[in-house]
Amino acid sequence: MNKSLIFAYNKTKAFCQFCNRTRNPHPEYDEPIVTTKLEINKNEIEVCINCYYDLQIVAKNTGNTLMAVIKEKHNMQRLFAKLSSK
């Protein structure tokens, strides 16, 4: 598990690798999304707070660890990226 989970607010180049958002989707908040960095398979990925908590719910509902769920999503994403680049 990541020891220090720090969510960065108002980061100008914030980008979520899971939902591809850069801005807060809420219409009342015109600001960059809140993200954190996670280390997965020796890669650092940036994930927004919404995806992070969504995956936490998935982990809880499926009885997996959060890191296992994030790793699987990350692997799937890489797989799809590979498939669509062909």
Of residues 14, 38, 45, 48, which one binds Zn ion by CB under 5 A? 48
C-alpha 44/C-alpha 39 separation (Å) is 4
Contact 50, 20 (CB under 8 A): no
Contact 37, 44 (CB under 8 A): yes
Q: Which of residues 25-44 bind Zn ion (CB under 5 A)?
A: none
Stretch that binds Zn ion, among 5-13, 17-25, 56-64, 66-74 (CB under 5 A): 17-25
Residue placing its CB nearer to Zn ion in the complex, 46 or 86: 46
| Residues of this chain that bind Zn ion (CB under 5 A) | 16, 18-19, 48, 51
